[in-house]
Structure formats: C-alpha cells, structure tokens
Structure 1
Amino acid sequence: MPLSEHEQQMLEQMEQALASEDPRFAHQMRGGTTLAVRRRRLVLGILGVVIGLALVVVGVNTTMWVGAVGFAVMVAAAAYAFTPVKEGDASAQAAARTKGRGPTPPKGSSSFMHKLDERWERRERGQ
C-alpha cells in the first residue's frame, strides 16, 4: 500500500532532520558508493599526475611541446581527482550495480527511503 502525500512529507522531514543531526550516520545509511568512486578517482588522478610528470621530464630533454602536454595532463588529472562526487552521479550508481547491492531505488527516491521500504516489507513477510 503506497504512502499518502502527508506520510511521504513526514518521512522526508525525518530524513532531513536525521541528516542534519548526524550526517555521518545518514551517509552510512545511504551507502558507501560515493566513497568507492572518490577512491577510484583519487587513484586515477595520482596515476595521471605521475604520467604527466614523466612527460614533463621527457619534454625537458626533447621538445617543449611534450613538456606542455605533460603539464596539461598533470593539471587535468589533479582536477579530476579532487572534483567532488555528486550523490546522483551516474558512475556512483554504476558502481552500486556492479557490486551487487541489489536493485537501485526508483527514480526520485533516496536510497535511505528504499532501505526503509525493504525493511518494512521484510517485517510484513515475517522474515
């Protein structure tokens, strides 16, 4: 049985209150997919900076253009590594699907609400 509009608003308010009171717990309830995406971006960024630095060193010994390309690679890799990950990022959703965390929540609902719905359904089935 779907929730009424009033009940949905109340649940959204409760979720916002939880997120403001204890953001760390709310983040854990949403899932750690953004952490995995952040870690992967950081590793790729560091790798890009190292490759760019190698190109800069090669460019010093050969031609200026190779060094300029190396510098551009370093800057782009650093920007990629330290760009914040959005919660609704497609790569975060793809990472959640590949980890086998179950079905993704319906469009327009948060993963916190999806988990609450799953728990409620399990209780109703008696599991």
Structure 2
Amino acid sequence: MALSEHEQRLLDQLEQQLHADDPKFAHSMASDTRKSMSTRRLVIGSLITIAGILVLLAGIVYQLTIVGVVGFLIMGAGVYFATTKSRQPDAGQPEGRPSKTPSPGKSGFMSSLEDKWDERKRDQT
C-alpha cells in the first residue's frame, strides 16, 4: 500500500528532523549493505562449522578428548563468524573520528512530537 503525498511529506520531514537531532542514531538505523549479513561470511562460517564437526567426530572416533574439544571450539568459531556482521569502516567517516553527541534536554524532534500530541488532545476535547 503506497503512502499518500501528505504522509510521504510527513515521513520525509520526520526523517530530516531525526538526522538533524541525532545523526548517530539515524546512521545506525539506516540500512547499510556493507554492515548487513553477507552471503560470503555465511558460506565461510558454514564451512568452518562443518570442519569443526568433522574434527569433533574424529576426536570421538579416536577417543581423544583434546581433539574433540578443539573440534567443538572450531565449530563455535564457525557459527560466530557466520552470524556476525562485518566491521568495515564507513568510507565517509574515518575510524577514530569522535561522533557528535546530542545536547542534554529535549531535542527538537521529541518536542515537536509532543506538541503534535498535545494539539491532538486539545482537538479531541
């Protein structure tokens, strides 16, 4: 279901206010394909997990506890690698750059939402 022009304008306005008031939060909520789950990491992690299972089974077959423990650790590392997101730094922002923190008190975004809420309450009564 498509948004009406009015709803689209309101959504754009809210998005702009969010970016202006809290850019760090807005950036973290934006969809970024570089930080999402990649198929490559999933495949490599799955292969590492399978290798860990094979080492674990070899430890069981040869009754070597240390080999089984190593296989279990390899298996856990594979699952961890497959389920975590890559940590590539953004191209536009250097790694060591401090982020701007919002000032204490009410932000413009929240105060405008509260004003709209109060206006709706007054209109209903």
Give TM-score, length-normalised by structure 2.
0.45
Larger RCO of the pair (alpha carbons < 8 Å, separation 6+): 2
Q: Which structure carries more helix by proportion?
A: 1
Length-normalised TM-score, structure 1: 0.45
Rg: which structure is higher? Answer: 2
